Amino acid sequence: MRTAPSSRDIKAKFLAPIEEPEKISEIPDDEGFDVGVPGGVEGGIPGGVVGGVVGGLPEAPPPPPPSPVKRAPVRIGGQIQPPQLVHRVEPNYPSFAAKARLDGVVILEAIVDQDGNVTEVTVLRSATPLLDREAEAAVRQWRYSPLVLNGIRERFVLTVTLSFRLQQTS
């Protein structure tokens, strides 16, 4: 593809006539110059747009469907009946903690998935790091029957309170 002529080239080829010519001849297309823009498309339309495409751009594809919204876990309470705990593991009371006479209450928040498995555990109230670890390890092993809401299994959140108390000997 030829580049567009500069204004100097045009002035050199086209001069105002001094007298009337006898015959006006046409310049064949292959001998003339193409009017276009640098970087244009071969076979493009004269006066087209830089980067333009013959026939225009193809229609854009439709946007992808929105990703499924991950719903927050349902907090137990109100009109929802809590699912049943089907497998409970008691926390170990480490012998070191007993010898050190460590006791206390650990409050945890647990998120349970649609199948009744505990997936996340967060300590809300700590007793000691040692007892917190044991409480968290035990609750992660708990299993529940699924919570069904409007025929759909849902994740849910629950609060668990575990007490570590030394046996009083008389």
To which CATH superfamily is domain 74-164 assigned? TonB (3.30.2420.10)
Helices assigned H by DSSP within the chain: 7-13, 95-99, 129-139
Per residue in 21-80, pLDDT (tens digit) is 677 776 555 544 555 556 666 666 666 666 556 566 667 788 888 877 777 877 665 556
**What are the boundaries of each domain within the chain?**
1-51, 74-164
Identify the pLDDT of residue 160: 94
Nearest one of 143, 122, 118, 128 to 93, comparing CA atoms: 128
Per cent of the chain over pLDDT 90 is 29
